[in-house]
Structure 1
Amino acid sequence: MKTMTTMFLCLITMLLIASAYSNSVRLHMTHRDTLSPQHTPYHRIEDIMGMDLKRHSAISQKIKTSKSGGRMPLGSGFDWNAAQYFSEITVGTPAKKFRVVVDTGSELTWVNCRFQGKGRESREAFRADESSTFKTVGCMTKTCKFDLRRLFSLAICPTPQSPCSYDYRYTDGSRSQGVFGMDTFTVGLTNGSVTTIPDTLIGCSSDSKGDSLSVSDGILGLAYSDNSFTTKATSIFGNKFSYCLVDHTAHKNISNYLVFGTNPASATKSPAKRTTQLDLNILPPFYTVNVVGISIGDTMLNIPPQVWDVRQRGGTLLDSGSSLTFMVEPAYRAVVTGLERHLVGVKRVKVEGLPMEYCYDTSKYDDRKLPQLAFHFKGGARFEPYRKSYLISTADPRIRCLGFVSTGAKGPNVIGNIMQHEFLWEFDLAASTMTFSPSTCR
């Protein structure tokens, strides 16, 4: 996520999978949230929370591919001790795969790279010099000087032939430095074949720093931006993309897909399917939704309307790069107080290193006592996440916490990936709508 980005904690395999359906492309997507040998259970949660808090602090050429769309595997990062979802991108000629964080708040897609003798020697590095389709963006070009300025292109141009450089910084202190280039991506099609997407912007990062990048080869930027991978892919496969996030504690053998074009799974006439408007131009490059209120059970919470108003430093974003759900203080206090009333008698605990305020020993708690929480969108649509999405598991099976964090007086509110899991989310960029429905993501 550009100003709000951070926390890039790994992705799993984006295997190019075929399907008998048409009109979509998809990538496998997994969540990255497991315990590594170097981390204690609570260190993992502490790291996730730290990255989440920092993340919030700042918050074409068409090719003919018949009528099929594209897809990439998408899964949880649990087995990499990461709080993000990952996919695999295939770049260059000859093509090489890289595990990347799927981030709807980031504009730039980049990978660890070695170019003209600079960069990493590791196996995961993309050797741009060896790709016959890689070409740099020149530092004297309009693309560098104007189009890519928002992506931190640097005003360094020793010669007219020098590449356009960038220094992409994230709010957790992570950074990625390199040069902008164009290369060919290879994606699987839902009709069982594969296709290439030529002349796609990619960051060739010779240097990247930050704990949040340690298990990732790079970032897949899916924000709403002229320079994002989303814009390129949807210009080819249709103006839609979608994803279904498996449970954030799922292992790497459980995954779903990131789909560009119409998702076959969205064709069902589920009565639970809901559609709401997207405000794509109000807080670019983020996906802004019109929340107008939150209810717990049958009670609408008393939350000031300015909390949801972007013009008053409010508003709400849907973000795959944040794990927890962030709320401006009046909304946060109303939600946690409302839920706490239904946890009376359950032992509240303080876990060292865990910034969430409300944690409980729920070993003897009946989840059916916790009422349904619902986000109410303008137009009448309601999003009713699973109880396990807001009373979330920790490394200790006895302890669960309310998965909300206060942002203080500053917005916007952010619906994170744990709240989103086990729902199918489809973004229609042409109609400026978002459709969602419960799904097993299997």
Structure 2
Amino acid sequence: MPGRSVVSVLLLLLLHGLLCLQLVALAEIEMDDGGVMEEGSCTHFSVSPPPAPPEDAEERRDYFRAMAAKDLFRHEQLITMMGSDRNGSRRRQAKESSKLPEVMSATSMFELPMRSALNIAHVGMYLVSVRFGTPALPYNLVLDTANDLTWINCRLRRRKGKHYGRQSQSQTMSVGGDDGAAAALAKKEANKNWYRPAKSSSWRRIRCSEQECADLPYNTCQSPSKAESCSYYQKMQDGTVTIGIYGKEKATVTVSDGRMAKLPGLILGCSVLEAGGSVDAHDGVLSLGNGHISFAIHAVLRFGGRFSFCLLSANSSRDASSYLTFGPNPAVMGPGTMETEVLYNVDVKPAYGPRVTSIFVGEERLDIPDDVWNTEKKLGAGVILDTSTSVTSLVPEAYEPVTAALDRHLAHLPRVNMEGFEYCYRWTFTGDGVDPAHNVTIPRFTVEMAGGARLEPEAKSVVMPEVEAGVACLAFRKLPWGGGPCIFGNVLMQEYIWEIDHAKAKMRFRKDKCNTHHLHTSTGGEVTNGTSRSGKQANSTCNGTSSSSTVVHRVN
């Protein structure tokens, strides 16, 4: 691929710097008591882990099949997004795909197994509870660092003017198998939290005639009509389709001094149709990606330019939860905290990740070409952090040396064929990956980044235990040639706290079990100062600079 134009990149930086300065002027927060938010405040949201793999052998196979299918669909759409962004055709594709029958027909690609009542739709996804609207109501949304559109399942009241309306009690679709699965999903459907704009006094729909609508992604407006609602069509990276209308709404949060506040001016997708294998497990998506409509970008402009999250292991207790924090979080800084630069992906616009320099297995530095990581020289290069992808996916130039090096430590074990994984072994992996009885020691896996930061995940994030009873698999998948960028999924990211500091274009991380400094006890951004599960006093004090002068660096 030809090299990137330095002039083009500088122009992007300049243009988006100006955009961010404009956004800062809008970065207001409404305190419910009419006062001013204290300098260095933060807010926390409760995050629940994905379901643990079930004990039943058949359900366990379905669990990992679902994980593989979800990751495949997500990557396929990421590649589509990358190609359309480069030739400017995304909006044209959205308009051509906006009709309801076409969306319906797109569901034929979703083949997730649904033979039992197992909620595989939630496999590998972290849910965060956020309150939207006036009065504020809670919604369970998927945490998504590679998406810029926040949307909620929505029911519109028919009015004059042209916009989509949910035509039946349920327009949410997923694929099914037997009647038991259908009944389980029907029950879940009945318990959905529907967002109803007509019942929120703070909702304001955006019309096709407004310039703001023209600037929104995934736009499907056919004409600049004042009567027509600004509509969108998005096919997410995991294959999920959603169509609906854009509006502005408020989120209600609790800041660190205990006072209630509202975040105004948030772009919200009111989704009137969802199709895909995962839509029954949640109320929508919370975007933490890099984009001017992203929830994260709006929130960090009000809370010090940064946010952090900690991903519990999928094997955590079902009543466990971790946290998503906007603003300075003292839990980020501790023993072993690493810092590196944030690399904003110029091909997949909402995405970002670290600038990787090398990978080690044990003490061996793997022979991976430098241009695998260099986004300035190669289309599809670099790494993105994606909380909605489970298993880390690598381009062949990285995948082959990584798996070859790990396989040398496991090759004496019997190989097993498993759907969705290439390297699996007949071996019961317990504890820390050290098994003298079978002559197995899983080597240290290290990702080295710009500035010397080193990510060293636990053995269970490198070799996935018990994919089937008595079978362990390498926790990596191979992307097709030209199918980059590489994706660090949530299996690799779990049991680390991550901070994305947009104000300084820095990323910080350190090992953390994610439940030793519990910063909340309820959903929707509630903060309490109390005792953590470990018995230590939870520290919810925020410190840092005021968000009033935050300048967020974004390139997209």
In the other structure, the counterpart of 2:241 is 175
Instruction: Pick from 133, 144, 168 the counterpart of residue 213 of structure 2.
Output: 144
Cα 1:285–1:364 change in 2 (3 A) is: closer
In the other structure, the counterpart of 2:398 is 331
Kindly state the Cα deviation for residue 57 of structure 1 after the two structures are TM-superposed: 2.2
Instruction: Pick from 350, 359, 363 the counterpart of residue 417 of structure 2.
Output: 350
Cα 1:35–1:304 change in 2 (3 A) is: closer
Conserved? CA contact 1:189–1:195, under 8 Å: yes
Instruction: Pick from 58, 62, 65 the counterpart of residue 46 of structure 1.
Output: 65
Determine whether 1:389 maps to 2:389: no
Instruction: Pick from 461, 465, 477 the counterpart of residue 405 of structure 1.
Output: 477
Q: Which moved more, 1:422-431 or 1:303-312?
A: 303-312
Conserved? CA contact 1:137–1:164, under 8 Å: yes
Q: Which moved more, 1:106-115 or 1:117-126?
A: 117-126
**Structure 1 residues 362-373: aligned runs within 5 Å:** 362-363=427-428, 367-368=433-434, 369-373=441-445
* CA displacement 1:20-53 (0-9 Å, x = unmatched): x96321111122234689x721111111111102
Q: How far, CA to CA, are the matches of 1:35 and 1:266 in structure 2?
A: 29
Cα 1:49–1:138 change in 2 (3 A) is: same
Conserved? CA contact 2:70–2:238, under 8 Å: yes
1 or 2, which has the higher helix percentage? 2
Identity %: 30
Tell me the SS of whatever aligns to 2:315: coil
Tell me the SS of whatever aligns to 2:140: strand
Look at both structures and tell me which one has the larger radius of gyration over its CA atoms: 2
Instruction: Pick from 42, 46, 55 the counterpart of residue 24 of structure 1.
Output: 42
In the other structure, the counterpart of 2:344 is 280
- The one-letter code sitting in structure 2 at the alignment partner of 1:345 is H
Kindly state the Cα deviation for residue 382 of structure 1 after the two structures are TM-superposed: 1.1
Cα 1:312–1:80 change in 2 (3 A) is: closer
Q: How far, CA to CA, are the matches of 1:31 and 1:277 in structure 2?
A: 27
Q: How far, CA to CA, are the matches of 2:311 and 2:390 in structure 1?
A: 12
In the other structure, the counterpart of 2:252 is 186
In the other structure, the counterpart of 1:69 is none
Q: How far, CA to CA, are the matches of 1:252 and 1:178 in structure 2?
A: 33
In the other structure, the counterpart of 2:148 is 107
Instruction: Pick from 404, 418, 426 the counterpart of residue 491 of structure 2.
Output: 418
Tell me the SS of whatever aligns to 1:54: helix
- The one-letter code sitting in structure 2 at the alignment partner of 1:382 is R
In the other structure, the counterpart of 2:131 is 90
In the other structure, the counterpart of 1:376 is 448
Conserved? CA contact 2:77–2:239, under 8 Å: no
Instruction: Pick from 286, 293, 297 the counterpart of residue 220 of structure 1.
Output: 286
**Structure 1 residues 201-240: aligned runs within 5 Å:** 201-240=267-306
1 or 2, which has the higher strand percentage? 1
Conserved? CA contact 1:22–1:191, under 8 Å: no
Determine whether 1:289 maps to 2:358: no
* CA displacement 1:80-120 (0-9 Å, x = unmatched): 64211111111111111111100001101000001123326
- The one-letter code sitting in structure 2 at the alignment partner of 1:437 is R
Q: How far, CA to CA, are the matches of 2:119 and 2:296 in structure 1?
A: 25
Kindly state the Cα deviation for residue 394 of structure 1 after the two structures are TM-superposed: 3.8
Q: How far, CA to CA, are the matches of 1:281 and 1:48 in structure 2?
A: 25
In the other structure, the counterpart of 1:7 is none
Conserved? CA contact 1:157–1:164, under 8 Å: no
* CA displacement 1:107-139 (0-9 Å, x = unmatched): 010000011233264552111111111110111
Q: How far, CA to CA, are the matches of 1:372 and 1:381 in structure 2?
A: 15
- For structure 2, the 5+ residue unaligned runs are 1-38, 79-117, 159-164, 170-189, 435-440, 516-556
Query: How many residue pairs get matched?
Result: 398
Tell me the SS of whatever aligns to 2:409: helix
Conserved? CA contact 2:77–2:235, under 8 Å: no
Kindly state the Cα deviation for residue 172 of structure 1 after the two structures are TM-superposed: 4.4
Q: How far, CA to CA, are the matches of 2:512 and 2:427 in structure 1?
A: 26
In the other structure, the counterpart of 2:368 is 303
Q: How far, CA to CA, are the matches of 1:393 and 1:113 in structure 2?
A: 39
Tell me the SS of whatever aligns to 1:345: coil
Q: How far, CA to CA, are the matches of 2:121 and 2:395 in structure 1?
A: 31
Q: How far, CA to CA, are the matches of 1:281 and 1:253 in structure 2?
A: 36
Conserved? CA contact 1:423–1:441, under 8 Å: yes
- The one-letter code sitting in structure 2 at the alignment partner of 1:304 is P
Kindly state the Cα deviation for residue 193 of structure 1 after the two structures are TM-superposed: 3.1
Tell me the SS of whatever aligns to 1:312: coil
Cα 1:186–1:317 change in 2 (3 A) is: same
- The one-letter code sitting in structure 1 at the alignment partner of 2:126 is Y
Conserved? CA contact 1:348–1:361, under 8 Å: yes
* CA displacement 1:234-267 (0-9 Å, x = unmatched): 1111100000100023243111100000112124
TM-score by length of 2: 0.68
TM-score by length of 1: 0.85
